[in-house]
Amino acid sequence: MKLSLTALFSVLVYIQLSAQTLPVGTPVIEDYLRRQQLLGKVDSTISFSFRPFHFGENGLTLDTDIFQPTDYFQEKLSFFKGKGLIKLLPAELRLSYDSNHPDSRNNGAMIRSRGAQTLLSVGVFAKIGPLSLQLKPEFVYAQNKNYKGFSEDHFDVIWSRRYIWFNNIDTPERYGNRAYKKFLPGQSSLRLNKWGMSLGISTENLWWGPAIRNSIMMSNNAQGFPHVTFNTSRPLKTKVGSFEWQFVTGRLESSGHPPPDTTRTYTGRTLYVPKIEDSRYFQGFSLSYSPKWVPGFTFGLTRWVQAYTEFIKETDDYFPAFSNLFRNNDNNTGGRDELQRDQAAGAFIRWVWPDSKAEIYAEFHRNDASANFRDLILNSEHSSATTIGIHKLFDTKVAGRFIQFNWEWTEMAQGASTVLRGTGSWYTHSRVRQGYTHNGEVLGSAIGPGSNAHYLSVARVEGKNRIGVALERLVHNNDFLRRAFENSQDFRRYWVDYNIHAFADLTFDKFIVSGNIMYTRALNYQWELFHIPFTLPYYVPGTDRGNLHLEFKVAYILK
């Protein structure tokens, strides 16, 4: 009986409403639409800095030669003279595999785990007038095999410094000691859509900012969290230009899994400090402006704040994203204000040049509040993080076929200002000790705290199809490296991954398929060296590991 009700509920969920969304991470389509904008076939006022995309009468409208919603959303029922609609969403299957250690990113409800992992999703979209309902639940299964994490061979003092991280962020090495299974509401929402705006509740993944690979403030690296949202569903055009925004208030949860070796002690004290088991109140907004006098240019601002729910109740501050940008404005005493809240703010730009079939984009954000405006301009690099990217299409001799080039550089590690002014790493916090995470994964850039990355890809594209290769250099958590080995001044221990990718996006009638194969050579994995004191040579081998990461996504259009 319970199974029958579930099946009936799933059928009802497939009813289509106006302004359905294209979930973040949808294979093939997102990258294809961005390429079409470089070709001048998509409105340049669309910033590609707010996802998921909304389509329909209250969302984006595109030339049918570019993208027909019926290519993705299948209408099955119309009623109330067309005011009511029901549509089926594609059935999706996502598979991933890591041979040696977890190395997956931007995969939504999937977790960091070794072995095979599967995500299944089906859904329905329904509309009655301005009201829409999208139900797209997700089921995740991961083998969650054991693997070697932070090495037992590190000295106790290094373990004690590693626990500074473990105690200030919720990113477990492993989600328990057995297979991981979870059924989630996934990319579901209930919305009121009107005049190009949308008010609703949702558990969808969000993406803020123009970055293609490493968005600093919000990405689909973690599973979606429940939130109330007020956002534009298309650029709102005025006499001075176009505006897009999203305002979100939500709830973040812990993973429920502790860091490794919680009984370890150092100088007589236990290193592990249990975190407060309280949900976190999250609030953030992102706003962009595209001036009418500079076609293709977008400037945006983003800010988010999180605090334990109990603290928000005590202070009666339910709109923290709009208060206390500078610490001089703190209105509470005794450390009950800013020190109890984790926050970040910053800006982004994007400039599209259709004549050159190119775009540049950048994000610059800070993870610590300045004392005042003078402090901000004097020490702007303090607690900062940056992403810069270039994306271009080159013509070929074949009409409609291009070579796609993308380079992206992300720097999360703290700079020289830490010598004079100590700061914590991005996504960690000493008071809100789960850090900027949900279910144990960072909500922002997937490379994580203190890390830097260069990514370069080249592909042949034609229509929706794309085949290419990429090279990536990822330096893991330099902030930890500097603090853990500052006494020994051991600069040989950088943990650096060199990644080689081969990827393909293909469409076949009812199927949309995306695949990626990545081989990683991790040098000094987990900062470990084979070191014998007082021996030569000084540069000795480290724990170098290879990992094969496979990723496959397929969406089946239910026609």
**Hey, how many other C-beta atoms are within 10 angstroms of the C-beta on 204?**
24
Asked if the structure places residue 4 within a domain, the reply is no
Q: Tell me the whole-structure pTM to 2 decimals.
A: 0.91
Q: Is residue 201 part of a domain?
A: yes
Token pair listed for 435: 């850090």
Per-run averaged pLDDT (10 residues), the chain, 559 residues: 36 42 90 95 93 83 70 67 80 96 94 97 90 95 95 91 94 95 96 94 97 96 97 95 97 95 92 93 97 96 96 91 71 56 94 97 88 72 91 95 98 81 86 96 96 97 96 96 87 93 93 96 92 64 92 89
User: For residue 76, what are the contacts with CB-CB under 8 A and spacing of at least 6?
Assistant: 14, 16, 86, 87, 88
1 domain-assigned:
no
Given a contact cutoff of 8 angstroms between Cβ atoms, the answer to whether 410 and 387 are in contact is: yes
Instruction: Establish if 205 belongs to a structural domain.
Output: yes
Return the number of other C-beta atoms located less than 10 Å from residue 213's C-beta: 20
Range of the domain at 24: 12-556
116, two tokens: 């095979």
Q: Does residue 43 form part of some domain?
A: yes
Q: Which residues have CB under 8 Å from 3's CB, separation 6+?
A: none
The position carrying tokens 């990258």 is 31
Return the pLDDT at 535.
61
DSSP code for 353: E
Instruction: Measure the CA–CA gap between 279 and 301, rounded to whole angstroms.
Output: 26
CA distance 147 to 101: 6
Q: Residue 44 in contact with residue 149, Cβ under 8 Å?
A: no
Asked if the structure places residue 510 within a domain, the reply is yes
Eight-class DSSP state of 509: T
Collapse the DSSP code of 164 into the 3-class scheme (helix H, G, I; strand E, B; otherwise coil) and give the result: helix
Q: Is residue 2 part of a domain?
A: no
Q: Is residue 529 in a domain?
A: yes
Sign of CA dihedral 502, 440, 244, 389: negative
Distance CA 125, CA 318 (A): 32
Q: Which CATH number covers residue 494?
A: 2.40.160.130
Domain count for the chain: 1
pLDDT at res. 127? 87
Distances (CA, A) of 290 to 45, 47, 296, 327, 345: 6, 8, 7, 31, 20
Q: How far apart are CA 201 and CA 191, in angstroms?
A: 7
pLDDT number for residue 14? 30
What pLDDT is attached to residue 84?
78
Position 70 scores a pLDDT of: 60
